[in-house]
Structure 1
Amino acid sequence: MPDKGTYRRIVWPFAIAETIIWAAIYYSFPALLLTWEQDLGWSKTELTGAFTVSLIVNALCAPLAGRLIDRGYGRFLFMGSMLLGAALLCALSMITEIWQFYAVWLAMGAAMSGCMYEPCFAIITRSFRENAKRAITLVTLVAGLAGTVSFPSAHALVEMMGWRMTVLVFAAVMVITTGPLVWIACRAADRMAEGRAFVPSQKTRHALRILKTFAFWALALSFAMLALHHGMMINHILPIFDERGIAKEAAVLAISMIGPMQVAGRLAMMAAERYVSTMVISAGCFIAVFGASTALLGTSAMPSLIAMFVLLQGAGNGVVSIVRPVLIATLLSRRNFGAVSGLAATAFMAGTAFGPTLGSLIWEIGGYDLVINLAIAMPLIGLLLLLAAARYPSTVSDEDPE
């Protein structure tokens, strides 16, 4: 069991670094979206298309990033990706054309694949092995406040100096604070992994054999259902509330509480994990999200159900970020965890990227009631896939063929 010194050298630096990285890179986009629309004159559709491209690139690069971490290059990947992200924020401050905006965010997708949750959890799992769950939980508890840091910071800085200087400030904070933290954490993690980390498959094709297993696809698609659901709901929640006659102020307050509910869900998981298994907690995430969508359907008749939606949507999705890497290691592979986690993340990130578009298409066909009904079905499908993956776990990638 890792001691307090190990957590001080690895976990807490990663937690602070991830908070800053998520705040500066990921949440800066929604935080500055309206400002960009007003200042640059491009539509929301044009702007958010760049973010979708970024998430797709992130998904495509994730397996390679995971493979590099398995081979012991996590420190250089993480540092390089973080510095690339900071450099791209600097480039963002100088854009004047829409193609430049897209080029920056396309490259940002590659940077995100090497310095956000997936690579961080892969490095922690490689070092902590079966004790990774608590370390991952602590990282997400702190980094769950990234949105709370990013939105007010961006608003205040834009008011003082404009959005171009704001992204430069974000870049500077990343380099000055996150750089040393990442280096310290990764170096300590490498030392901890010496002699205890699983030796990855020498040939990439051996690690890729996991793609032939039922368990991989069932688990990857189960969490992709939640990602698709969350991406669809969060991006359409304001017009859904508006259609249901809920005041804009109440709607904005409700959305702002989803982040704190994610942290609350993680704290509840820490209290319950000694009594129930990770699989039971995972199933609870899907049931919570199902309950959130069901509550949302009833907000027309009973607006107070908004509170239930916020609680269940936030808590359910907050815990997912913890249990997903744990289940990948348990049901699929510890030896090639980085590569396998990256492959599974491709489906998860694709769900996040295409959720908003799917919501728009369904809305055009049958309105937001149809969107909500689809949202009710998604976690149920995901739960069935999760149970199927647990019933038929795979260890194929932990043994190389002769």
Structure 2
Amino acid sequence: MSEAAPAGSRRVVIALGTAQTLAWASSYYLPAILAAPMAAEFGISTSWVFGAFSAALILLALAGPAVGRAIDLHGGRGMLTLSNLVLAAGLCGLGLSQGPWSMAAAWMVLGLGMAMGLYDAAFATLAGLYGRAARGPITGITLIAGFASTVGWPVSALLLEAVGWRGACLAWAALHVLVGLPLNRLLVPPAPPPERKAALAEEAGPAPSRLAMPLLAFVFAATWFIAGAMAAHLPALLQAAGATAAAAVAAGALIGPAQVAARVAEFGLLRRFHPLVSARIAVLGHPLGAVALLVFGGPAAAAFAVLHGMGNGVMTIAKGTLPLAVFGPGGYGARQGLLGAPARLLQAAAPLAFGLLLEGAGVQAALTLTTGLCLSACLALLVLRAVPAEAAPRQVGR
């Protein structure tokens, strides 16, 4: 059964969803538009820029557990507010960089800012505020921030054309200070008082098995590897399967709407069930699309994109709701950091590893790998026990 929406959560969801859209658009989705002009000015290959970005993702993974522990202790409002300043500093560093190494250093600052300000930090903030009732707010912010690439890529492209890549970075930095920081600081409630935090920490059902942590870590690592691989290579994969270049681009454009549609379904219909049910269904989306692509080739490009996008959209929510449902809100932030570290590391390696496999062994081998990972993740989710949620916690916030 779904939890009642906590009092005041709509305001928090809108604020966090908007701030998350800004954070993702100005960091994770930035290289797709600005990597080429950066590389051209510095006389380096775009691979150099993407390598610096991958290093930032590695730092994100390594810093995640410490960020989560800090949010567990002090609440998320301060961390999210500080993330806007760190992301702004990194973007200013990019905009003012004078060569490849200063550019790489700026990306590392952005990596730290991403660890402090992307989904994991927002999810931990909501878990600290609302306990098990955070499932709805978590879904809500992913519904809004699901449009980060839809908003971020065109805005970055317009800024690039108007003021150049340096001006684009500085403009994104200004938005963090003028928009993101006030949203996180003024509209996100502070951490609950100590007695309320203690009550939230005790909201746990039957103790999960010792395998729960490694099983969930594997599920998230497998699905995030696939998400990273598809983000980098989807058009090339579809063309290698027989789709035309135009059809591959058109199919890729369906992923964003498919993700949002699936999140709407999770918010409505699937919200009535345990998050494990949603995750088990979602993780089968990519394999079903892969089978269609292998059997029918290019004409199935759109079907593959939609099925993959829908599964990926719900798994983004599951990254926040599954640990909450299985373990409860106590220690949620630190646990999120630990569960997310392998996933982030594999996500950073996915574009190179999957690209080499696709180029060297072909479509069938590449899709066999991703399908096997998804089916293994589904098996892991079937092994996990669905711990029933207890009564909704007392409402927090206004």
TM-score normalised by length of structure 1: 0.88
1:367 correspondence with 2:368 = no
Q: 2:302 aligns with which of 302, 307, 326?
A: 307
Q: Summarize deviations over 1:22-45 as a string: whole Å, max 9, x none.
A: 111221122222333433332232
Count of aligned positions: 381
Task: Give the aligned residue type for 2:69.
Answer: R
CA distance in 2, matches of 1:132, 1:73: 14
The aligned counterpart of 1:351 is 346
Maintained 8 Å contact 1:54/1:108:
yes
Q: Summarize deviations over 1:3-57 as a string: whole Å, max 9, x none.
A: 6861244221111111111111221122222333433332232121111111111
CA distance in 2, matches of 1:330, 1:124: 13
The aligned counterpart of 2:267 is 270
Counting only pairs closer than 5 Å after superposition, residues 144-223 of structure 1 correspond to structure 2 as 144-186=146-188, 188-191=189-192, 195-198=195-198, 213-223=210-220
Give the drift of 1:365: 4.0
Bigger shift: residues 18-27 or 361-370 = 361-370
CA distance in 1, matches of 2:272, 2:290: 28
Give the secondary structure class of the aligned counterpart of 2:149: helix
The aligned counterpart of 1:91 is 93
The aligned counterpart of 1:48 is 50
Maintained 8 Å contact 1:62/1:342:
yes
1:252 correspondence with 2:252 = no
The change in CA–CA distance for 1:3 and 1:356 in structure 2 (over 3 A counts) is closer
The change in CA–CA distance for 1:269 and 1:233 in structure 2 (over 3 A counts) is same
The aligned counterpart of 1:400 is none
Give the secondary structure class of the aligned counterpart of 1:175: helix
The change in CA–CA distance for 1:42 and 1:341 in structure 2 (over 3 A counts) is same
Bigger shift: residues 117-126 or 79-88 = 79-88
Maintained 8 Å contact 1:198/1:334:
no
Task: Give the aligned residue type for 1:282.
Answer: A
The aligned counterpart of 1:121 is 123
Give the secondary structure class of the aligned counterpart of 1:270: helix
1:38 correspondence with 2:40 = yes
The change in CA–CA distance for 1:198 and 1:290 in structure 2 (over 3 A counts) is farther
CA distance in 2, matches of 1:3, 1:280: 20
1:296 correspondence with 2:297 = no
1:325 correspondence with 2:327 = no
Give the drift of 1:67: 0.2
Task: Give the aligned residue type for 1:131.
Answer: A
The aligned counterpart of 1:396 is none
Q: Tell me how large the CA RMSD over aligned residues is.
A: 2.4
Give the drift of 1:319: 0.8
Q: Summarize deviations over 1:239-260 as a string: whole Å, max 9, x none.
A: 2233234232222222222112
The aligned counterpart of 1:109 is 111
Give the secondary structure class of the aligned counterpart of 2:322: helix
The change in CA–CA distance for 1:323 and 1:247 in structure 2 (over 3 A counts) is same
Maintained 8 Å contact 1:23/1:150:
yes
CA distance in 2, matches of 1:3, 1:277: 16
Give the secondary structure class of the aligned counterpart of 2:196: coil
Maintained 8 Å contact 2:76/2:190:
no
CA distance in 1, matches of 2:386, 2:50: 39
Give the drift of 1:73: 4.4
CA distance in 2, matches of 1:2, 1:275: 11
The change in CA–CA distance for 1:294 and 1:388 in structure 2 (over 3 A counts) is same
Give the drift of 1:391: 7.2
The aligned counterpart of 2:372 is 377
Maintained 8 Å contact 1:81/1:115:
yes
The change in CA–CA distance for 1:274 and 1:82 in structure 2 (over 3 A counts) is closer
The aligned counterpart of 2:26 is 24
CA distance in 2, matches of 1:298, 1:41: 44
Give the drift of 1:299: 4.9
CA distance in 2, matches of 1:198, 1:351: 35
Bigger shift: residues 87-96 or 363-372 = 363-372
CA distance in 2, matches of 1:245, 1:35: 31
Give the secondary structure class of the aligned counterpart of 1:253: helix
Task: Give the aligned residue type for 2:264.
Answer: L
Give the drift of 1:379: 0.2
For structure 1, the residue ranges without an aligned partner over 5 or more in a row are 202-209, 394-402
Maintained 8 Å contact 2:142/2:317:
yes
1:243 correspondence with 2:240 = yes
CA distance in 1, matches of 2:290, 2:241: 14
The aligned counterpart of 2:80 is 78
CA distance in 1, matches of 2:370, 2:237: 12
Maintained 8 Å contact 1:63/1:343:
yes
The change in CA–CA distance for 1:97 and 1:299 in structure 2 (over 3 A counts) is farther
The aligned counterpart of 1:226 is 223
Maintained 8 Å contact 2:75/2:125:
no
